[in-house]
Amino acid sequence: MSLTRQDVEKIAHLARLSITEQEMPVYVTSLSSIVEFVDALSRVHTGDVLPMAHPLDGQQQRLRADVVTESDHHEKFQANAPAVQAGLYVVPRVIE
Amino acid sequence: MLHNLSIGELSRSLNSGQISSVELTRHFLARIERLNPALNALITLTATQALESAARADARRAAAGERGPLLGIPLIHKDIFCTDGVRTSCGSRMLDNFIAPYDATVVARLKAAGAVMLGKANMDEFAMGSSNETSYYGPVKNPWDTTKVPGGSSGGSAAATAARLAPFATGTDTGGSIRQPAALTGVTGVKPTYGRVSRFGMIAFASSLDQAGVFAHSAEDAAIVLQAMAGFDARDSTSIDIPVPDYPETLNAPLKGLKIGLLREFFDGLEARNAALIHDALKLYTSLGAQTVEVSLPHLPLSVPTYYVVAPAECSSNLSRFDGVRFGYRCEAPKDLLDLYKRSRGEGFGAEVKRRIMTGTYVLSAGYFDAYYLQAQKVRRLITDDFRAAFGQVDLLIGPTTPTPAFAIGAKIDDPVTMYLNDIYTIGANLAGLPGLSLPCGLIDGLPMGLQLIGPHFSEAKLLNAAHLYQQSTDWHKQAPRGFE
């Protein structure tokens, strides 16, 4: 199955990726070849096989006591942010 | 020379006072300075911190009489592990300016053991690649032939270990990213069982497949390192809380009666010279008392397409955190929030990472989820069941690590599907969460090849044991690339 330019534009939008004019034809071709490659899976009879999401079956998600275990490191963490003001992350205006 | 000594030998020299950790660290820093420019294996050098930690290790040894096997031994971390106060780029423009605010558990454990970090290793961007050509910092060169790739994604760690720039290095393996570069650079690489080593602070690619491991010059050295890395960590929700056996202790256990499975699917279409190396290894194992049994895993040929649905799906979700807001690259003058997201990600990620995110987004999208993602998860179970059935008959499986020796830089980078097929022998173990090990087993056209051992869950001790006894009778693991002896 091959993907069209419109398909790739839609996927890129869903993935929140800007794709340049120059990159676009490369992705149309390579994503098509990947989709074609993984299409081999459609020929496998899987009937009532249970989907496997985790490599070690029977693992239970652990619970922990609802107590504070981490201290406040916001200054250290926010040192990596592109724009911070008064301890808040700065982004373009969302609400007029 | 110091850089050809085993970890055990180095440790004894440190204990006897023959050398200090500061001297050892200076020796490796000097080698890095001289040899790394031709390889591009390290992208961050932490010389000042290294000399400080070496001095601390010397003090611990002298004052407190400590004798830990890694106390004062230098290492290199793959740049996927967060290192407090040190840039952690994951090979990406996205994190080019990211200073990790904490240590990954792997980093913290090795630090506590007294190991000395020399720097951070180059890698395929976000660990997505099999040749180390997708790094924002440029390709890593294979020390055996600098026109060839070292494999990936942990190519910097592998090349640095092969070039004797450190006694050992850390890596991660999602689809073969430790075993494949270990094979192509002639070193020993171990990918432990999923859940054996903590993933906390290891930048996520595909969370149901990612596992941290080690590159070393021998199985014996790898056993010492894995001992320090492995074990339960409450901060990783998939970490397994079962005791870690003493890996060095069982290295010399006799192999008499060991049942080795020869995977029929691994030999279909295998190049004759590659097959001959595996048969040589089998002969050796037979002489050590092991038995060979041919086994078949009928669904194994589907592991590459299964992986290239599951891994991109998980990656598209994991990498959604890079939004240009909290950390990492932000585009210039965004006109609104959507533009900020799209251009920060479009400009911050490289071509292969964007390709995988889009593949993942596609297979998870409405109308395609059942046909691709759910179907891949079902086939993943069929592959895992095949392994389980095989381990009912044999103790471990043996085969090649890669189809060919290292290929030329640039040879496959424009054709993703051809590149993906490099991992044809390694991906199965990741899908099933099994431990795997690659060790050098010969040369083809002057380039190293790897022998792969795969065992049932938590059989690392047996894999290391089998690899160690092979290395007691052979010297492939002692061969160094010319110019790096």
Q: What is the pLDDT of residues A62-72, one digit of tens each?
A: 888 999 988 99
Phi first, then psi: give them for residue A89, nearest 5 degrees. -80, 135
| Average pLDDT of chain B, as a whole number | 97
Task: State the Cα–Cα distance between residues B299 and A71, nearest whole angstrom.
Answer: 48
* Start-to-end C-alpha separation, chain A: 44
> Using CB atoms, which residue from B325, B361, B381 is nearest to A52?
B381
Interface test with B, best of A17, A43, A69 (most B CBs within 10 A): A17
Residue A30, in any domain of the structure: yes
Phi first, then psi: give them for residue B77, nearest 5 degrees. -100, 135
- Give the Cα-Cα-Cα angle B248, B249, B251 (nearest 5 degrees): 65
Question: Nearest C-alpha of chain B: how many angstroms from A77?
Answer: 6
Q: Specify the pLDDT at position B345.
A: 98
Tally Cβ neighbours within 10 Å of residue B288. 16
pLDDT band at B311 (very low <50, low <70, confident <90, very high): very high
Residue A22, in any domain of the structure: yes
| CATH code, A39 | 1.10.20
- List, for residues B401-443, the tens digit of each pLDDT value: 999 999 999 999 989 888 888 899 999 999 999 999 999 999 9
Task: State the Cα–Cα distance between residues A50 and B82, nearest whole angstrom.
Answer: 36
Q: Specify the pLDDT at position B422.
A: 86
DSSP string, B276-340: HHHHHHHHHHHHTT-EEEEE--TTGGGHHHHHHHHHHHHHHHHGGG--SSSSS---SS-SSHHHH
Q: Which residues of B are annotated as catalytic?
A: 78, 153, 177
Tell me the domain boundaries of chain B. Answer: 2-252
Give contacts of B342 with chain A, Cβ < 8 Å.
13, 16-18
Task: State the Cα–Cα distance between residues B231 and B227, nearest whole angstrom.
Answer: 8
Supply the pTM of this predicted model.
0.97
**Residue B110: pLDDT above 80?**
yes
Contact assignment for A46 to B375 by CB distance below 8 Å:
yes
Contact assignment for B339 to A92 by CB distance below 8 Å:
yes
Enclosing domain of residue A26: 5-43
Task: State the Cα–Cα distance between residues B449 and B442, nearest whole angstrom.
Answer: 6
Give contacts of A16 with chain B, Cβ < 8 Å.
320, 323, 338, 341-342, 345
Question: Nearest C-alpha of chain B: how many angstroms from A49?
Answer: 6
Give contacts of B209 with chain A, Cβ < 8 Å.
55
Contact assignment for A14 to B320 by CB distance below 8 Å:
no
Tokens 């030329």 belong to B408
Tokens 């890593």 belong to B140
Q: Specify the pLDDT at position A57.
A: 74
pLDDT band at B105 (very low <50, low <70, confident <90, very high): very high
Q: Specify the pLDDT at position B67.
A: 93
Q: Specify the pLDDT at position B162.
A: 98
Q: Specify the pLDDT at position A89.
A: 96
Alpha-carbon torsion (B277, B279, B281, B284), positive or negative? negative
Interface test with A, best of B102, B126, B361, B423 (most A CBs within 10 A): B361
pLDDT band at A58 (very low <50, low <70, confident <90, very high): confident
- List, for residues B188-240, the tens digit of each pLDDT value: 999 999 999 999 999 999 999 999 999 999 999 999 999 999 999 999 999 99
Overall number of domains in chain A: 1
Residue A73, in any domain of the structure: no
Closest residue in chain A to residue B433, using alpha carbons only = A55
Q: For chains A and B, what is the number of CB pairs under 8 angstroms?
A: 170
Give contacts of B308 with chain A, Cβ < 8 Å.
34, 37-38
Question: Nearest C-alpha of chain B: how many angstroms from A28?
Answer: 10
Give contacts of B316 with chain A, Cβ < 8 Å.
15
- List, for residues B318-338, the tens digit of each pLDDT value: 999 999 999 999 999 999 999
Average pLDDT over residues B33-56: 98
**Residue A6: pLDDT above 80?**
yes
Half-sphere exposure of residue B135, counting CA atoms within 13 Å on the CB side?
32
Contact assignment for A81 to B351 by CB distance below 8 Å:
no
> Using CB atoms, which residue from A17, A56, A92 is nearest to B357?
A17
Distance of CA B249 to the CA centre of its chain: 23
Q: Specify the pLDDT at position A63.
A: 86
> Using CB atoms, which residue from A26, A61, A79 is nearest to B237?
A61
Interface test with B, best of A8, A23, A38, A76 (most B CBs within 10 A): A38
Q: Specify the pLDDT at position B278.
A: 96
Residue A66, in any domain of the structure: no
**Residue A52: pLDDT above 90?**
yes
Phi first, then psi: give them for residue B170, nearest 5 degrees. -90, 160
Q: Specify the pLDDT at position A60.
A: 76
Greater confidence (A96 vs B23) lies with B23
Average pLDDT over residues B367-381: 96
Per-residue burial over A37-67, b = 16 or more CB atoms within 10 Å of its CB, e = otherwise: bbeebeebebeebeebebbbeeeeeeeeeee
Task: State the Cα–Cα distance between residues B250 and B18, nearest whole angstrom.
Answer: 29
Closest residue in chain A to residue B414, using alpha carbons only = A30
Residue A19, in any domain of the structure: yes
- List, for residues B293-303, the tens digit of each pLDDT value: 999 999 999 99
pLDDT band at A56 (very low <50, low <70, confident <90, very high): confident
**Residue B28: pLDDT above 90?**
yes
B2-252, what's its fold?
Amidase signature (AS) enzymes (3.90.1300)
Beta bridge mates, B78: B121
Secondary structure letter of residue B176 according to DSSP: S
Residue A36, in any domain of the structure: yes
Q: Are strands B74-78 and B396-400 parallel, antiparallel or unpaired?
A: unpaired
Q: Specify the pLDDT at position A62.
A: 83
Residue A34, in any domain of the structure: yes
